[in-house]
Structure 1
Amino acid sequence: MQDRSKRPMMAFPSLLVHMFPKIARMSPPLRASNEESPRPRIARAQGSHRAIHPLLAAFISRLLGWASMASSITQIRKSVLTLALPVTVSTLLQRTEGIAAVFLVGGLGATSIAAVGLGQLLAFIATTLVSGLSVGANVLIAQLWGARRAKDVGEAATHLLGLAAIASCSLMILGLSLNRFTMELLGAEHDVIALALPYSNFIFLVIPCTIFLQVLSSIIQGTGNTKTPMYALIAVNLLYLTMAYPLIYGLWGVPALGITGAAVAAGLAEGIGVVYLLWSCRSLLKRSLHIRRDLLRSTWQIGASVSGERIFQQAGIILYTKMVLLYGTVTYAAHQVGLSIESLSFLPGYGFAIAAATMVGQSIGAGKYVRAKMENWEANRLAGIAMASMGLLFFFFPYVLLRIFTNDEAVVELGTVFLRIVAILQVPLSLTMVLAGSLRGAGDTRFIMLATTVGMWGVRLPLAAIAGPWLALDVLFVWSAMIADWTVRMGLLLWRYRSERWKAIQVLR
């Protein structure tokens, strides 16, 4: 007698044939249980009694592919966060030192605050000129590290430090020579210049420490280690806060140096930070007197465009600020307070941009272009979430944020308009920052400079000039030019990335 328990198993395939005739036409003919099966082309595993149906095999293969991709994305997400969070903290710490200097000298009066601000402005302009060196260091080291060219990593790091020494010494001489002239050119008052000059002179004396700190941080970040630079900046800030107050006001037997004491404390703290980073990356450095022109050429290829981009950006911001100043002191105060609040959203954006540049650079160096694309989009997604959340905060709670900085009702009212405008541009801003980071990691820095120039000089400044000086419209329209600027930049960088022309750029030779 036939075993009844086997009948349902035999009837199920026949039922599928009647229910899904299209599947039946795609599938091999069903065989009776006693029909001899042909010898399979691929040997079955021992203990297997029935071949897997082609559709089921395809479905399982697709599921395994999805599972593998999900696992890769999860791994990439963890890597992006591991890199981005320390960079975000490091960026916050870099800003903290400048804010702390203004706060500490506040007890000396408004003239001292203005003098410190003027000195910091000149130092910022100087470091902008060589900002391409630190970006070039990050990209070059990342690609060499991804390509597993350990010897070249060491030689590149040594060359980069040599370039940092030349650039910093040149800036030191230039700054000391042009300090007074630049202050007078900016229209600073004589009493401010008298206080700012010794402060700024000492800042330029120790500017090699500032530049070395930036370049060493970029070199170490290029290897995928973003925690060590963060620890260095934590130490620098703690040392600065410990030394600055006694040096400014004269405590514990230390003579009171006034605002110059803030510069002395910064130089000492950053010098100790440089020593720590040099010790941390001592295994990377190679002692060699041989000059590698290919490494110098690669650094110039990346760094020159980045410096040009920063110069065009800062020059445009100066002109844009002058247009806002036409609307009066209250409007300018609202503009400045709003920028201070908005700068908080730049912290995660900058962190994810550095993470994207490092990871994409390493993947391209290893020849893993598909992984580089996955890393870019994951960094964009995370940055978009973070900055969009900040945008919601700016849009719905502007009064709360503005009250932290000022109690002036007029400033708060105008600042609310400003914050709601910048809330709208948070997503285009996040995409622009991370896409720029990914393209820098690929070495495509010239197009980023082009996009920055078009956005700032071709969109923002003309629209602001038409709305402000020419038509005398409300400042709302001048501020809205920022949305157009960042949207155009985002579109240009997105087009460039999707075109995949960055794949043809050769940083390594």
Structure 2
Amino acid sequence: MTKPLHSSETNRQIVKTILLLSIPAVIDNFFQTILGFVDTLFVSQLGLIEVSAVGVTNAILAVYFAVFMSIGVAANVFIAKNTGAGNDKKAGKVAQQSILLAVIIGILFGLISLLFAESLLKLMGVSEEVLTPAASYFRIVAVPSVFISLMFVLSSILRGAGDTKSPMKISIFINLLNIALDYILIFGWFFVPALGLEGAAYATLIARLVGVAGLLWYLGRSNDMKFSLSYWRPDKEVQYQLLALGTPAAGERLVMRIGQVRYFGMIVALGTNTFAAHQIAGNIEIFSYMIGYGFATAATTLVGQRLGANDLAGAKKYADFCVLIGVGAMTILGLMLFFLAEWAAGFFTKDIQVIQQITIALQIDAFIQPILAVVLILTGVFHGGENTRFPMYVTAIGIWLIRTVGVYLLGIYIGLGIAGVWIAIGLDNLFRAVLLGLKYKNNSWMKLQSKEVEEFTQKAVN
């Protein structure tokens, strides 16, 4: 658990504290993303139909992730707040209630996947040749959704207590396992038959199962939370608090993902090659998100802990530094995306037309990276301040009014193709960065009483 900020703490010490939390979170997120990335890399050797099948499946799973992540956000915030206040019993109770909620929601989404796989995929506008393999892959990875929900929530519980290293260690291990299983199950090895696309799905499933077991083991060893058998009994008050904070966070991600489903359909209309190029570019670009999410995780935890300790100035200072460092890191990554775009695209396909489109997408995205850093990290800051509603409103306007309309106007109507799609994505992020930045600057990002905000703002001015 991190220590309260003292006036004697230097900027160098603050940066060190942030890096100690954010770097393991970045590595953790990086290796979690590898699960989908490696699947796409191996599956791309099977053909573009299989790549599209994984792509549309992951787009739907992203909606599931939105819900599971929202429970994790709420758990992270409340556990950080209680550990910052030194209330390890309440932190333990929140952790156990979060796990209970994750199990219930995970089972529910698993049943939805079992019964409505084809219907959900058809909403994506997939062709008949993609539907059958996509449905098979989707059911294998999504029916056991309880493991996905537990992965998100257990990792968030540990991060809320200031432990970002344990989730990182688990992510590294299960991704190495996933890579080995991908190779064996997709292409076959000795007595193991080649399962193709289904092999990729089974590899991901096994890796997640092992990950849940590992996270539970680390959680049982935690000294920052006290657990009790009585805490497994559903507590209406705690569940309400989790849902009240998590629902807007889920709404934010759902608005984003549903918007993506809508404009994915537009990209599909541009042709199979364009959609495959967009999907591959997204899989490459997602590594940049890992840096932003890592610093956002650190911001949520540190801000929550500082506010739990009634250290408003410390919360603001840590938030400032998280944004500055994150923007710098993602600017560097943007430069790498610009100059290495064509080289990275060559790992996924040998089709010249597809490579050209991937390169265009990534070079446009390179200029979006610093803006994206502001969006991701300030969202984490707002969450740490128990304000999940404003990011949801901003995302709703951005994704539906700017991004979706922009994809149609620039990509289809004007005819810019994949370039228009990624320009629209950039305009959406710019809009959200400006609105989040203005509210943050006005010190209205924390869920505090107006008197507390006024006193804090007056001190900041003086």
Give the TM-score range, shorter chain: 0.7 to 0.9
> Structure 2 matches for 1:74-85, cutoff 5 A?
74-85=12-23
Q: Tell me, yes or no, if the aligned pair for 2:386 and 2:446 is still in contact at 8 Å.
A: no
Alpha-carbon distance in 1 for matches of 2:335, 2:136: 44
Normalized against structure 1, the TM-score is what? 0.77
Q: Tell me, yes or no, if the aligned pair for 2:68 and 2:152 is still in contact at 8 Å.
A: no
CA displacement at 1:445 relative to structure 2:
0.5
Unaligned runs of 5+ in 2: 1-5, 450-462
Task: Name the SS for the 1:154 alignment partner.
Answer: helix
Corresponding residue to 2:93 among 132, 136, 155: 155
Task: Name the SS for the 2:229 alignment partner.
Answer: coil
CA displacement at 1:273 relative to structure 2:
1.9
Alpha-carbon distance in 2 for matches of 1:387, 1:239: 29
2:282 aligned partner, one-letter code:
L
Corresponding residue to 1:422 among 361, 365, 372: 365
Show the counterpart of 2:452: none
Deviations 1:274-325 (A, max 9, x none): 1221121125332115543332222112210111111111122233344445
Q: Tell me, yes or no, if the aligned pair for 1:220 and 1:281 is still in contact at 8 Å.
A: yes
CA displacement at 1:204 relative to structure 2:
3.0
Corresponding residue to 1:207 among 127, 142, 145: 145
Corresponding residue to 2:334 among 385, 391, 398: 391
CA displacement at 1:223 relative to structure 2:
0.6
Relative distance call for 1:473 and 1:213 in structure 2 (3 A) is closer
Alpha-carbon distance in 1 for matches of 2:277, 2:417: 14
> Structure 2 matches for 1:33-182, cutoff 5 A?
71-105=9-43, 112-182=50-120
Corresponding residue to 1:316 among 239, 250, 259: 259
Show the counterpart of 1:50: none
Alpha-carbon distance in 2 for matches of 1:268, 1:471: 45
Alpha-carbon distance in 1 for matches of 2:434, 2:426: 12
Show the counterpart of 1:31: none
Q: Tell me, yes or no, if the aligned pair for 1:73 and 1:374 is still in contact at 8 Å.
A: no
2:87 aligned partner, one-letter code:
R
Task: Name the SS for the 1:281 alignment partner.
Answer: helix
Alpha-carbon distance in 2 for matches of 1:252, 1:401: 31
Relative distance call for 1:256 and 1:463 in structure 2 (3 A) is closer
Q: Percent identity?
A: 32
Relative distance call for 1:318 and 1:270 in structure 2 (3 A) is closer
Relative distance call for 1:421 and 1:69 in structure 2 (3 A) is farther
Relative distance call for 1:262 and 1:362 in structure 2 (3 A) is same
CA displacement at 1:134 relative to structure 2:
1.4
Note if 1:271 corresponds to 2:209: yes
Show the counterpart of 1:442: 385
Show the counterpart of 2:425: 482
Show the counterpart of 1:305: 248
Relative distance call for 1:327 and 1:124 in structure 2 (3 A) is closer
Note if 1:347 corresponds to 2:290: yes
Moved more, 319-328 or 295-304: 319-328
Relative distance call for 1:122 and 1:478 in structure 2 (3 A) is closer
Moved more, 325-334 or 213-222: 325-334
Deviations 1:377-413 (A, max 9, x none): 1111111111111223334554444455555555555
1:164 aligned partner, one-letter code:
A
Moved over 6 A (4+): none
Q: Tell me, yes or no, if the aligned pair for 2:387 and 2:447 is still in contact at 8 Å.
A: no
Alpha-carbon distance in 2 for matches of 1:482, 1:192: 26
Corresponding residue to 2:161 among 210, 213, 223: 223
Alpha-carbon distance in 2 for matches of 1:274, 1:460: 35
1:393 aligned partner, one-letter code:
M
Alpha-carbon distance in 2 for matches of 1:154, 1:163: 14
Q: Tell me, yes or no, if the aligned pair for 2:125 and 2:265 is still in contact at 8 Å.
A: no
Alpha-carbon distance in 2 for matches of 1:130, 1:496: 27
Q: Tell me, yes or no, if the aligned pair for 2:124 and 2:265 is still in contact at 8 Å.
A: no
Corresponding residue to 2:400 among 444, 457, 462: 457
Deviations 1:219-238 (A, max 9, x none): 00111110100111122122
Normalized against structure 2, the TM-score is what? 0.85
